[in-house]
């Protein structure tokens, strides 16, 4: 087993997922980016236009000896609403869809198993896409580490802080 594995997840604005997973024990690095679309090397403006097919995602590099992919996926199902197609709260568009991009058959099986378990958490049908990862493109530098760099920004205060508070209450044992 490799020292570090990676997972690619999308659940709304990448700043939200990034802020949560940066606080998870065993997660070595979180990179905001784009995946799941048709063009190579998209820009934020292109992805925001909704024409590339890409989702805003995070790439999580993690130590599987400290945290499992199953635990990462359990967090995923609790920190966004996987029942709303192409939106999370006020963020609307295909780039904000719920998506898991797997890199091999083992990740695919873990994603399918976790999706079945997640369906028990929600009253509405889960619409999360499961797709093989074709490519991951890091977002522009100004999107990286956004919450930590701009904690007083309105979006961080109104949207990210409540997600962090909920996460920290539900997953206290997984906090760094």
16: annotated active-site residue: no
**pTM attached to this predicted model:** 0.94
| Catalytic pick among 7, 8, 9, 13 | 13
Identify any residues that bridge with 32 across adjacent strands, giving them in sequence order. 58
Per-domain residue ranges for the chain? 5-174
Encoded tokens for 133: 């990862």
Identify the DSSP state of 175. B
CATH class of 5-174: alpha beta
Per-residue pLDDT of the chain (176 residues; tens, 9 = 90+): 468 999 999 999 999 999 999 999 999 999 999 999 999 999 999 999 999 999 999 999 999 999 999 999 999 999 999 999 999 988 999 999 999 999 999 999 999 999 999 999 999 999 999 999 999 999 999 999 999 999 999 999 999 999 999 999 999 999 99
Q: Residue 160 CA to chain centroid, in angstroms? A: 13
Report whether 70 contacts 110 (CB < 8 A).
yes
Report whether 61 contacts 157 (CB < 8 A).
no
Report whether 94 contacts 53 (CB < 8 A).
yes
């Amino acid at each position: 087993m490799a020292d570090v594995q990676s997972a690619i997840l999308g659940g709304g604005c990448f700043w939200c997922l990034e802020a949560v997973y940066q606080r998870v024990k065993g997660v070595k690095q979180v990179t905001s980016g784009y995946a799941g679309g048709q063009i190579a090397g998209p820009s934020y403006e292109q992805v925001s236009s909704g024409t590339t097919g890409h989702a805003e995602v995070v790439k999580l590099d993690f130590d599987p000896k400290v945290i499992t992919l199953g635990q990462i996926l359990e967090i995923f199902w609790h920190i966004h609403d996987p029942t709303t197609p192409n939106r999370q709260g006020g963020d609307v568009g295909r780039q904000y869809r719920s998506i898991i991009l797997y890199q091999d058959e083992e990740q695919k099986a873990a994603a399918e198993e976790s999706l079945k378990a997640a369906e028990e958490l929600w009253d509405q049908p889960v619409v999360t896409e499961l797709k093989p990862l074709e490519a991951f493109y890091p977002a522009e530098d100004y999107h990286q580490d956004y919450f930590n760099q701009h904690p007083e920004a309105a979006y961080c205060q109104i949207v990210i802080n409540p997600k962090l508070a909920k996460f920290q209450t539900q997953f206290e044992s997984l906090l760094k």
